[in-house]
C-alpha cells in the first residue's frame, strides 16, 4: 500500500532493464485472443490488465514501442523482448505476467474469441510434469544459471557476475 492507502503493484521485463510501478486500483483483467495480440505476445493469447485509472511510473527505463495499428502501440523491452504494454487512446494495459505477482491478477473476461486457437480450451487437460521430471534434459536443466530479473525491485541489475 502507498502512503495514501492505495494498492501498489510492481513488475518489469525478464532481464530487468525495464521496471514499472502502478499505484491505485487495477482495472479489468482480460485475455485477448485476437491475432494481433497473439503475434505481439508470441503466444496463444495475451493476458492484460488495464491501468487506465491508476498511476503508472516507469522506474527503470521505458519500453520501446511498435505501432501495431493506426490506434494501438505495443511496448516491449528492447534488450530482452518481453511484451509489456498495450497502449490505445483510452488508456494503457500491462501484460499480467510482467507483474511481480501475476497470481494476484485473475482475468475476468476474454476478448477476440473469434480468433481463439482451437486447441486452447484443451491445454489444461494435457499431461503435466514438473520441469525436472524431463530425465533427458535433467543434467542440462540442473546446470542452468538464470539471468532473469527477480520478482522484486533491485537497486541495480544485472548482477556484476553475469556472464554470457
- CATH number, domain containing residue 43: 2.170.150.70
Report if pTM > 0.75.
Answer: yes
Q: Give the domain range for residue 29.
A: 8-115
135 is a domain residue: no
| Ordered DSSP codes for the chain | --TTS--EEEEE-SSSSSEEEEES----EEEE-SHHHHHHHTSS-EEEEE-TTSEEEEEE---EEEE-SSS-EEEE-TTT--EEEEEETTEEEEEGGGBS-GGG----EEE-GGG--TTGGGGGGS----GGG-GGGHHHHHT----PPPSS--SS-S-TT---
43 domain residue, yes or no: yes
The answer as to whether 40 is a domain residue is yes
pLDDT, position 160: 65
Does residue 126 lie within any of the structural domains? no
Domains: count for the chain? 1
Residue 160 lies in a domain: no
Does 27 fall in a domain? Answer: yes
pLDDT single digits (tens) 49-90: 999 999 999 999 999 999 999 999 999 999 999 999 999 999
| Residue 60 belongs to a domain | yes
Amino acid at each position: 500500500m502507498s502512503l495514501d492507502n492505495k494498492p501498489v503493484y510492481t513488475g518489469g521485463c525478464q532481464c530487468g532493464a525495464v521496471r514499472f510501478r502502478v499505484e491505485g486500483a487495477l482495472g479489468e483483467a482480460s485475455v485477448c485472443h485476437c491475432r494481433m495480440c497473439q503475434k505481439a505476445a508470441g503466444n496463444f493469447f495475451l493476458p492484460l490488465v488495464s491501468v487506465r485509472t491508476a498511476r503508472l511510473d516507469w522506474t527503470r527505463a521505458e519500453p520501446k514501442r511498435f505501432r501495431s495499428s493506426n490506434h494501438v502501440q505495443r511496448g516491449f523491452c528492447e534488450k530482452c523482448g518481453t511484451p509489456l504494454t498495450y497502449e490505445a487512446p483510452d488508456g494503457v494495459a500491462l501484460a499480467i505476467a510482467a507483474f511481480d505477482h501475476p497470481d494476484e491478477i485473475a482475468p475476468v473476461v476474454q476478448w477476440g474469441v473469434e480468433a481463439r486457437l482451437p486447441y486452447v480450451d484443451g491445454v489444461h487437460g494435457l499431461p503435466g510434469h514438473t520441469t525436472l521430471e524431463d530425465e533427458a534434459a535433467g543434467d542440462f536443466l540442473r546446470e542452468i544459471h538464470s539471468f532473469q530479473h527477480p520478482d522484486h525491485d533491485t537497486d541495480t541489475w544485472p548482477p556484476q557476475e553475469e556472464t554470457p
